[in-house]
Chains A and B, each alone.
Chain A
Amino acid sequence: MKAVRTILVAWIALLALLALTIAASFAPLGPALPFISYAIAIAKTAIVVWIFMELRVRDGMQRIALATGFAWLAILFILLFADELTRAWPR
């Protein structure tokens, strides 16, 4: 029963974060909006991965297996934006 309650609490938290992300997109946040949007998306992902995907009860190897995808993605993002954002710099 405890597991069921945890899942329901996680579900309510996810819907609350969804409402927050929609509300934030109408707030006058300017250039800060993407950072807030993605912070909320990462929080939602953490809830899904930790509770729904049960990584909280899995061993380290399994956590690393899923984290690998995100780690490689981070490398792609960092190298790509290192190029993209510095292209206009004077030579």
Chain B
Amino acid sequence: MTEVRRLQPQFPTLERQRDADHFGMLIFLSTEVLIFGGLFVALFVLRAQHSAEYAKSSMEMHYWLGGINTAVLLTSSAIVALMVEAVKSGSARLAKWLLLAAIALGLAFVAIKFTEYALEYRDGVVPLLSPAHLRPGAGTLFMDLYFVATGLHALHVFGGMTLLACLIWPFGRARRDTSAVFAGNAALYWHLVDVIWIFLYPTLYLAR
């Protein structure tokens, strides 16, 4: 990434090269949309076939923790968008502090998420591990899909934090790249993780 500014032989101009970088990232993000799309479609079918049972399971979720987490993720996305602006205007130091803030919020998200998992373990609604109060059938399926979807999302949060951390070290020079190629692509990924959570929240927590 230290060479993002250098023109590679296959591109006529730096601008074209930068567009190609973002283009590739957006295609990758499209495939991410489809990965989570499969899980969403499974949840929608479950909801269509077992509306009452689905709503009952959803109402047992800790919706306020999910709500706080949504706010945390939206805020960190805004900070990352500000970071890209800082990189573009050449303020590498400001960009570093914004990156640290965004990563801190990402860690807060994960901490809240795992607190929630612990509460669900205590409530006895975790399939296989603590199924004391788990309703068989649709209730169990709901919790299965809940853990797969939020677990996969949490993995993406870790991935996003790793990308953001790479902008601080070892690729710190990318922060001085005013065309914001690496910073812009890392930000795109972080925003997509945010978009996925925007849909997971009403699907899992707010079904009534």
- Which residues of A does B touch, CB under 8 Å? 3-4, 7-8, 10-11, 14-15, 18, 21-22, 24-25, 33-34, 37-38, 40-41, 44-45, 48-49, 51-54, 58-59, 61-62, 65-66, 68-70, 72-73, 76-77, 80-81, 84-85
Contact = CB atoms under 8 A, between A and B. Distances in A.
Decide if the interface of chain A is mainly helix, strand, loop or mixed. Answer: helix
9 closest A-B pairs by beta carbon, nearest first, are A69-B30, A69-B33, A11-B78, A65-B26, A37-B202, A25-B206, A73-B37, A52-B81, A66-B26
Given A4-B82, A15-B75, A33-B206, 10 more contacts: A24-B206, A25-B206, A44-B198, A51-B81, A52-B191, A53-B188, A65-B23, A73-B33, A76-B37, A76-B41
Contacts, number: 121
Contact of A4 (B31, B77, B85): B85
Contacts of B32: 69
Interface string B177-208: 00000001001100110110011011000111
A32 to B, nearest CB: 11
A80 B26 contact: no
Contact of B19 (A33, A37, A62, A66): A62
Interface residues of B, number: 46
Contacts of B195: 44-45, 48-49
Nearest to B33: A69
